[in-house]
Amino acid sequence: MDGWSDRAPPRKIFGNTYYVGTCGISSILIVGKHDAILIDGATDKAPAAIEANIRALGFKLSDVKRILSTHDHNDHAGGLARLQRDTGAPVLARAPAAATLHRGASDRSDPQFGQLGKFPPVANVRVIADGQTVKLGELELVAHATPGHTPGSTSWTWRSCEGTHCVDIAYVDSLTAISDKQYRYSDHPGYVAAFRHTIDTVASLRCDLLLTPHPTASDMFLRFAGTKPLIDADACLAYSRQAGKALEQRLLDEKNGKAP
Ligand SMILES: [Zn+2]
């Protein structure tokens, strides 16, 4: 896809939170007094762009002490192995994603398995749990299990301040119910129940400022440019509602023989 590995201009989003990703895939840097946390590595060709962006903002790769991940597909996790080598930071992921990141390949539990590319395996992955807080210096990010797009999908929330103005930032994983030609969601009622629970989880997140792994999914660049509001306390609710409708439509399409 166009621009998934091409460098986008780095920029401050709010407070200690920066965009360091590519034109098509997000990578988010959260910076503390001494250390930083990076979320997502885009494609296997993207690390040079992400690293150049981190440096252009005045930070060092060695500042990055933890790398987090939203979902274990090659367009978001392809760059993690290289970023880990260059920063020395462990990658933190929930159990289903950790297994995929270790292998550099998904398995049949992923709805898109049949059409997914492999990616460079990540050597040092630490397993984290739903609700766990990742602490690094004064930084605190909370992991939220949001399975659906992948079994290991994880969303992240943290609070960021500019002076006395503080906002809750939610980096919410993709919620799209898409699959390869074999997978039917309706054959996996437990997975559908978990997906619906995810939709509810996202609706209830503390969320003043929504970020997404695909910038276009929440108009991030338009919001960075001021064309749309950057801060919108209803953004997670709207994102969740739209995803919920799409999931129910997909189930209906399966019932009516229109999908997969
Ligand atoms: Zn994906």
For residue range 188-244, what is the model confidence (pLDDT) as tens digits? 999 999 999 999 999 999 999 999 999 999 999 999 999 999 999 999 999 999 999
For residue range 92-103, what is the model confidence (pLDDT) as tens digits? 999 999 999 999
For residue range 171-198, what is the model confidence (pLDDT) as tens digits? 999 999 999 999 999 999 999 999 999 9
Q: What's the gap in Å between 238 CA and the centre of ligand 1?
A: 20
- pTM score over 0.75: yes
Give the total number of structural domains in the chain: 1
Residue 77 domain boundaries: 11-255
The answer to whether position 67 is within a domain reads: yes
Q: What's the gap in Å between 214 CA and the centre of ligand 1?
A: 9
Q: What's the gap in Å between 167 CA and the centre of ligand 1?
A: 27
Q: What's the gap in Å between 117 CA and the centre of ligand 1?
A: 11
Q: What is the CA radius of gyration of the chain?
A: 17
pLDDT mean across residues, the chain: 97
pLDDT for the residue numbered 225: 96
Q: What's the gap in Å between 116 CA and the centre of ligand 1?
A: 9
CB 27 within 8 A of CB 18: no
Other C-beta atoms lying within 10 Å of the C-beta of residue 27: 27
Q: What's the gap in Å between 97 CA and the centre of ligand 1?
A: 12
pLDDT for the residue numbered 3: 86
The answer to whether position 238 is within a domain reads: yes
Q: What are the residues whose beta carbon lies below 5 Å from ligand 1 (ion)? A: 73
Selected residue with higher pLDDT from 5 and 31: 31
One-character DSSP codes across 154-169? EEEEEEEEETTEEEEE
The answer to whether position 231 is within a domain reads: yes
Where residue 234 sits, what CATH number does that domain have? 3.60.15.10
Q: What's the gap in Å between 164 CA and the centre of ligand 1?
A: 36
The answer to whether position 2 is within a domain reads: no
Q: What's the gap in Å between 144 CA and the centre of ligand 1?
A: 17
The answer to whether position 70 is within a domain reads: yes
Packed helices 47-56 and 80-87: angle between N→C axes, nearest 10 degrees: 40
Is the model's pLDDT at 124 over the cut of 90? yes
Is the model's pLDDT at 49 over the cut of 80? yes
Is the model's pLDDT at 2 over the cut of 70? no
Q: Which structure tokens are listed for 257? A: 């023989």
The answer to whether position 3 is within a domain reads: no
Q: What's the gap in Å between 151 CA and the centre of ligand 1?
A: 11
